[in-house]
Amino acid sequence: MMVPVEIDERLIEKHGITPEEYARIKSILGREPNFTELGIFSVMWSEHCSYKNSKPVLKLFPTEGSKILVKAGQENAGAVDIGKGQAVVFKIESHNHPSAVEPFQGAATGVGGILRDIFTMGARPILLMDSLRFGRLESPSTKHLFSGVISGIAHYGNCMGIPTVGGEIYFDDAYEGNPLVNVLALGIIEHKKLVKGAAKGEGNPVYYVGAATGRDGLGGASFASRELTEESHEDRPAVQVGDPFLEKLLMEACLELIETGAVVGMQDMGAAGLTCSTCETAARGNAGIEIDLQLVPRRETGMIPYEVMLSESQERMLIIVQDSKRRTVEQIFDKWDLHAVPIGHVKSGSKMIVRDGEETVADIPAKALTDEGPVYHRELKEPEYYEEAKHFNVENVSIPRNMGNVLKQLLSSLSIASKEWVYEQYDHMVKTDTVLLPGHDAALVRVKGRRIGIAVSTDCNGLYTYLDPYEGGKHAVAEAARNVVCSGAKPVAITNCLNFGSPMKPEIFWQFRRAVEGMRDACLKFHTPVTGGNVSFYNESPSGTVYPTPVVGMVGILDDIEHRIPSFFQKPGDEIFLMGRTGNDLGATQYLAVVHGIKSGVVPVLDLEREALLHEFMLAAGRESLLASAHDVSDGGLAVALAECLFGVRGKPLGAYLNLTELKETGIRADAILFGETASRVLVSVEPKKQKKLERLANQAGIECYHIGRVTEEQLRIDKYIHELSLELEMLYRSAIRKAMGE
Partner 1 sequence: MNAVVVVFPGSNCDADCFHALSEVMGSRVKFVWHKERDLPKTDVVVLPGGFSYGDYLRTGAIARFSPIMSEVRRHAEKDRPVVGICNGFQILLEAGLLPGAMLRNRSLKFSCKFVHIQVANNQTMFTKAYRKHQILKMPIAHGEGNYFCDHDTLKELREKGRIAFRYVTENGEATDRANPNGSMDNIAGIFNERKNILGMMPHPERASEGVLSSTDGQGIWESLAECVGV
How are beta strands 540-541 and 530-536 bridged, if at all? Answer: unpaired
Is 424 near partner 1 (CB under 8 A)? yes
Closer CB to partner 1, residue 162 or residue 576? 162
Is 428 near partner 1 (CB under 8 A)? yes
Candidate residues 41, 171, 333, 423; the one interacting with partner 1 per rule CB under 8 A: 423
How many binding residues for partner 1 (CB under 8 A)? 32
Strand order in the sheet with 316-321: 263-268, 316-321, 205-210, 339-347, 288-292, 351-356, 359-365
Closer CB to partner 1, residue 725 or residue 741? 741
Is 735 near partner 1 (CB under 8 A)? no
Candidate residues 3, 399, 429, 725; the one interacting with partner 1 per rule CB under 8 A: 429
Q: By C-alpha distance, which of 223, 360, 375, 392 is closest to 290? A: 360
Is 742 near partner 1 (CB under 8 A)? no
Closest approach of partner 1 to the CB of residue 113, in Å: 18
Is 248 near partner 1 (CB under 8 A)? yes
Closer CB to partner 1, residue 275 or residue 434? 434
Closer CB to partner 1, residue 252 or residue 704? 252
Residue pair 565/484 in contact (Cβ under 8 Å)? The answer is no
**Residue 657 and residue 709: Cα distance in Å, rounded?**
5
Is 505 near partner 1 (CB under 8 A)? no
48 a catalytic residue: yes
* Segment holding 273, helix H or strand E: helix 273-284
Is 734 near partner 1 (CB under 8 A)? no
Candidate residues 142, 182, 434, 634; the one interacting with partner 1 per rule CB under 8 A: 434
Is 621 near partner 1 (CB under 8 A)? no
Residue pair 64/71 in contact (Cβ under 8 Å)? The answer is yes
723 a catalytic residue: no
Neighbours of 707 (CB within 10 A): 15
Q: By C-alpha distance, which of 211, 633, 166 is closest to 442? A: 166
Closer CB to partner 1, residue 284 or residue 734? 734
Closer CB to partner 1, residue 161 or residue 702? 161
Q: Where are the alpha helices (H) located in 438-505, listed in sequence order?
A: 462-467, 469-486
**For residues 512-571, which are near partner 1 according to CB under 8 A?**
561
Q: Where are the alpha helices (H) located in 487-589, listed in sequence order?
A: 506-526
Closer CB to partner 1, residue 355 or residue 428? 428
Closer CB to partner 1, residue 438 or residue 676? 438
Contacts with 394 (C-beta within 8 Å, 6 or more apart), sequence order? 584, 586, 587, 592, 601
Measured over the CA atoms of residue 686, residue 689, residue 690 and residue 695, the dihedral's sign is: positive
Is 246 near partner 1 (CB under 8 A)? yes
Closer CB to partner 1, residue 252 or residue 517? 252
Is 90 near partner 1 (CB under 8 A)? no
Closer CB to partner 1, residue 144 or residue 448? 448
Give Cα 468 to chain centroid, integer Å.
21
Contacts with 173 (C-beta within 8 Å, 6 or more apart), sequence order? 135, 136, 543
Residue pair 28/372 in contact (Cβ under 8 Å)? The answer is yes
Q: Of 205-213, 256-264, 418-426, 684-692, which segment contacts partner 1 by CB under 8 A?
A: 418-426
Residue pair 296/341 in contact (Cβ under 8 Å)? The answer is yes
Candidate residues 425, 584, 659, 735; the one interacting with partner 1 per rule CB under 8 A: 425
Q: Of 72-80, 181-189, 240-248, 552-560, which segment contacts partner 1 by CB under 8 A?
A: 240-248
Is 315 near partner 1 (CB under 8 A)? no
Is 446 near partner 1 (CB under 8 A)? yes
Q: Of 243-251, 283-291, 516-524, 655-663, which segment contacts partner 1 by CB under 8 A?
A: 243-251
Closest approach of partner 1 to the CB of residue 245, in Å: 3
Contacts with 96 (C-beta within 8 Å, 6 or more apart), sequence order? 178, 179, 180, 181, 182, 224, 499, 536, 539
Q: What DSSP string describes 123-176?
A: PEEEEEEEEEEES-TTSHHHHHHHHHHHHHHHHHHHHHT--EEEEEEEE-GGGT
Closest approach of partner 1 to the CB of residue 727, in Å: 15
Closest approach of partner 1 to the CB of residue 535, in Å: 32
Measured over the CA atoms of residue 435, residue 436, residue 437 and residue 442, the dihedral's sign is: negative
**3-state SS of the chain: helix, strand, coil percent to 5?**
40, 25, 35
Q: Please tell me which residue in 15, 95, 155, 631 is annotated as part of the active site.
A: 95
Closest approach of partner 1 to the CB of residue 625, in Å: 16
**For residues 143-182, which are near partner 1 according to CB under 8 A?**
151, 154, 158-161
Closest approach of partner 1 to the CB of residue 310, in Å: 27
Is 105 near partner 1 (CB under 8 A)? no
Is 45 near partner 1 (CB under 8 A)? no
Is 98 near partner 1 (CB under 8 A)? no
Is 283 near partner 1 (CB under 8 A)? no
Q: Of 10-18, 260-268, 424-432, 627-635, which segment contacts partner 1 by CB under 8 A?
A: 424-432
**Residue 642 and residue 573: Cα distance in Å, rounded?**
15
Q: Of 1-9, 45-53, 213-221, 237-245, which segment contacts partner 1 by CB under 8 A?
A: 237-245
Q: Side chain identity at 36, as an amino acid letter?
A: T
Is 104 near partner 1 (CB under 8 A)? no
Closer CB to partner 1, residue 51 or residue 119? 119
Angle at 125 between CA 122 and CA 130, to 5 degrees: 135
Q: Please tell me which residue in 48, 345, 615, 631 is annotated as part of the active site.
A: 48
Q: Side chain identity at 72, as an amino acid letter?
A: A
Helix axes 35-44, 19-29, angle to 10 degrees: 120
**Residue 425 and residue 417: Cα distance in Å, rounded?**
16
Closest approach of partner 1 to the CB of residue 154, in Å: 5
Q: Of 177-185, 242-250, 259-267, 362-370, which segment contacts partner 1 by CB under 8 A?
A: 242-250
Q: Which residues are catalytic?
A: 48, 95
Which parts of this chain interact with partner 1 (CB under 8 A)? Answer: 151, 154, 158-161, 243-246, 248-249, 252, 335-337, 423-432, 434-435, 437, 446, 448, 561
